[in-house]
Amino acid sequence: MKRIPWDILLALLVGLALGLVYSWMIAPRGATDTQPRILRADFKDQYRSLIAAAYAATGNLPRAQVRLALLGDANSVDALNGQAQRMQANNQSFERADQVAALARALDENANVEGTNGGATGAEPTNSAPVSNPTTEIATQSENNITSTSLPPSADVPGDLTETPQSIETSTLVNIPSPRATNTSTAVPGKPFRLTGQETVCDPNIPNGLLQVLVLNSNRRQIAGVEIDVTWDGGEEQFFTGLKPELGNGYADYMMSPAIIYSIKLARGSDIASGITTPSCQSPNGETFPGGIKLTFQQP
């Protein structure tokens, strides 16, 4: 019967252990030519935060899109909104969370614009195009000289659309083509929100005096990270959408106190819901109980 060479096996095991210690702890091989898509989830969050901070400083949306594509997210907007919600829930820096949410809004609005335009910029307008807002040219004839007066743009025109003034060289009023609006690299500010719904909620299964707020964009998609201001005589508080993602990215709620009259508006600009107070509801058996209020804000 052959004897087991324990000395050789022991030497092999010691050599293997020393090799592992050297390769894992003493001189581990550095990672090279890696992609952000293979990063751990928390490192991906840091990567998105840096991209959002760079976008907030430069306003370069195409560059931010290219950088986000390296992460391999199925939907960059949903990934950014989810991260902004986690940052707010974990009491991280509000400024950084707002930067992440702002980048998500810019990507979402840019996608909506591209979808509306069919992905094409269109041809340059010709001289036969009718005159259109936002700039109206009024030509007046005085001693064969033409004076062009440019009215200020309408309040509905986003501030990031640039216009090239046109000059009138004829002595009669002619149709001057409106210059083609071009998107700059800055984030497109959302239009003010309108109060599109206000209803009393008489549900004994929800907390008494619960104020529910739902914030939607023009495509009825819920928007996370929107600040809501609630004020009353002698007090003011703020809360945000998206902190309860299980109820929706654009959902937020607030507990109202009885007999207090509140006013609610969005910090980004909206209609004001005034005279909001805890309603009185009646159950089927005739008993009364405090109900709730549900408000819906939407971009036009």
- DSSP for 24-85 reads IIISPPPP-S--GGGS-HHHHHHHHHHHHHHHHHH--HHHHHHHHHTTT-S-HHHHHHHHHH
Q: Do 272 and 264 meet the contact criterion of CB atoms below 8 Å apart? A: yes
Break the chain into its structural domains and give their ranges: 37-116, 194-298
Q: Do 177 and 166 meet the contact criterion of CB atoms below 8 Å apart? A: yes
Predicted local distance difference test score (pLDDT) of residue 97 = 83
What DSSP assignment string belongs to 220-251? Answer: S-B-SS-EEEEEETTEEEEEETTS-GGG-TTE
CB burial of residue 249 (10 Å; 0-12, 13-18, 19+): buried
Predicted local distance difference test score (pLDDT) of residue 87 = 86
Predicted local distance difference test score (pLDDT) of residue 148 = 38
Q: Which CATH number is 194-298 given?
A: 2.60.40.1120
Q: Do 199 and 293 meet the contact criterion of CB atoms below 8 Å apart? A: yes
What's the angle, vertex CA 57, arms to CA 56 and CA 63, rounded to 5?
Answer: 75
pLDDT in tens, the chain (300 residues): 567 778 888 888 899 888 888 888 887 776 655 678 888 888 888 889 899 988 988 889 999 999 999 888 989 899 998 888 888 788 777 778 888 888 989 898 888 887 766 544 444 443 333 333 433 333 333 334 433 334 444 444 344 433 444 443 433 444 444 444 444 333 345 568 999 999 999 988 889 999 999 999 988 899 998 999 999 999 999 999 988 888 888 999 999 998 899 999 998 789 999 999 999 999 888 889 999 999 999 999
- Rounded Cα distance, 137 and 171, in Å: 13
**Token match 């898509």: residue?**
37
Q: Centre a 10 Å sphere on the Cβ of residue 78 and count the other Cβ atoms it contains.
A: 14
